[in-house]
Structure 1
Amino acid sequence: MTSHPEPIDAADDSVEGHRDDSEAVLVVGERSEDAHGHTCRALAADEDYRFRALVGDADPCADTTDWYGSGVFEKMAPAQLGIALDDAIANLVSVGDTPDCHVCLDGVPGSLDEHDERAFFHFLHALTARVTDDGGRCHVHLADDVTARTVAPLFDRVVTLDEH
């Protein structure tokens, strides 16, 4: 039986100040600049290196590109993003000590068919493992609850954004 991470309501400020050594967080909720933007910045606030990856041409949940000064990868297919992020992380790790690194993934298409959802699951599995294996952190923004339920087991915790 698969264990799902316990959802966290972002309104209770549990996102801020919560840091584990390595962690993958799923941020779920309707596209809302205020909610997603606040959560995105809070999750990556203390990191030395922040990367943002935007999938394809889909609209992102948050406009936080300016917050990610270490690198922004835009309008790439998941496979291209995986290679670009892997190279960026490998370069950081190659300098000797493991720096604090955070990856934000946004712009995931709203509804995925079964084939695309399966491919996206495999992509997220590889991404979260790559980032956290080297002590980094990542979070993924999703507006689609169906896809979120499918990929939730890949994450250490789920932050559910509430529209108030």
Structure 2
Amino acid sequence: MALNKLTPAKGSLHNSKRVGRGQGSGKGGTSKRGHNGAQSRSGYSRKIGFEGGQMPIQRRLPKRGFKNPFRTQYAAMNLSMVEHYAEKFGVKELSVDFLRDMNIIQKSELVKLLGNGELTKPIQVKFHAASKKALEKLEAAGGSFEKVEA
């Protein structure tokens, strides 16, 4: 088998039926567009979401909830990543400023410590927030948590 010898399976390729090429072709005359009306004209394109006059789905379904413009959104930092960065950079203290200096998080981001993973070394963590599970695991490993104001 060689790349220049590859061919499509027999019968898998079909030429598309060309429309508007005379009555003898079977697709002449109106060229599958019917008689009059907007859809028969050239340049016609249906509005996005238009369902032929039927009430569109986006209007049939009810509105739900709202987006809180004042929500606090945190960048998640799991214990496994804390351990990884502490080993990688050889530090015993991990702070928001340090993560920003290393381009791990953006300037505007708030960081929350989450409890996925295990800690083997005592590490001092200075983040904006932490989950209960993360604090339990951090203190069990001999580390400490300090809350930083945004």
Q: TM-score when scaled to structure 1?
A: 0.26
Q: TM-score when scaled to structure 2?
A: 0.28
Which has the higher Rg, Structure 1 or Structure 2?
Answer: 2
Greater relative contact order (Cα 8 A, min sep 6): structure 1 or 2? 1
